[in-house]
Amino acid sequence: MPAGANPLTHAAMPKPAHRPPVSLAVAALYRFARFDDPAALRRPLLALCEAQGIKGTLLLAREGINGTIVGSAEGIAAVIDHIRQLPGCADLDVKYSSAETMPFGRLKVRLKREIVTMGEPDIDPLASVGTYVAPHDWNALISDPETIVIDNRNDYEVAVGTFPGAINPETRSFREFPAWFRRERERLLGEGKTPKVAMFCTGGIRCEKSTAFLKAEGVEQVYHLKGGILRYLEDVPAAQSLWQGECFVFDERVALGHGLTVGEHTLCRNCGGAVAAGEACPTCR
């Protein structure tokens, strides 16, 4: 109650019948960088996030930072500004969206061996990576019959939405991708061919490693969607889009559509899988 206000008058004031929902800012981010001592970076970052009421997950490793965080626009801006001050993070890649309710239950700022786990210690996206393709140029690349298109995500993500003609490796974790490619390489690329390989993932981080991996395996023409599916859905109008379905995200929003609006999928409380509107869970029924 304002200082000096009459408590009786204040109590008698009518309350609004409806308050519009307060939109929360969502920031999906990553940056490969050289962190000599990630543990020293964790405490100040955690303290700032807690002070700003941020929830979500941030991962720190010697190879950089990755995560998705949610909070007020001002709080998210303060955290992003802090991260941009970290070594090599001035060009931090951030994709913004919104949520009407908090999609995370708590805040986690964790130290990891890798910010995205592939299990190939010699792969360094800072040393070698595929060619970035802007969202507005992506349709032409994947429509070329000479291009092999690979969905770099896990099977349960692909089931929610993907690009037409994309190969599904049917992996359960990103760690399985190198073994899948080595096993399927001859079938995919054939003998004596030098095809173009285009890969995509949710926000772009997995493709940083997978394209570096393919180049290390001797594949020269490797491309990946810059900013991932999220940037594509943000930048490419639905009328011009080749995307089919929705994009699975790892929070309570479950999946996003064009314009990064919340999609129609819900979360199965039994197995954690995505469930299309009006359907039974395809995993556990």
Q: Which of 201, 207, 268, 271 is catalytic?
A: 201
| Half-sphere exposure of residue 61: CA atoms within 13 angstroms, side-chain side | 14
Q: Is the dihedral of CA 260, 266, 269, 270 positive or negative?
A: negative
Q: Is the dihedral of CA 95, 96, 99, 105 positive or negative?
A: positive
Contact 100, 185 (CB under 8 A): no
Place of tokens 């995919």: 188
Work out whether strand 24-32 and strand 255-256 pair parallel, antiparallel, or are unpaired. unpaired
Backbone angles phi, psi at 134, to 5 degrees: -65, 150
| 271 annotated active-site | no
* Residues designated catalytic: 201
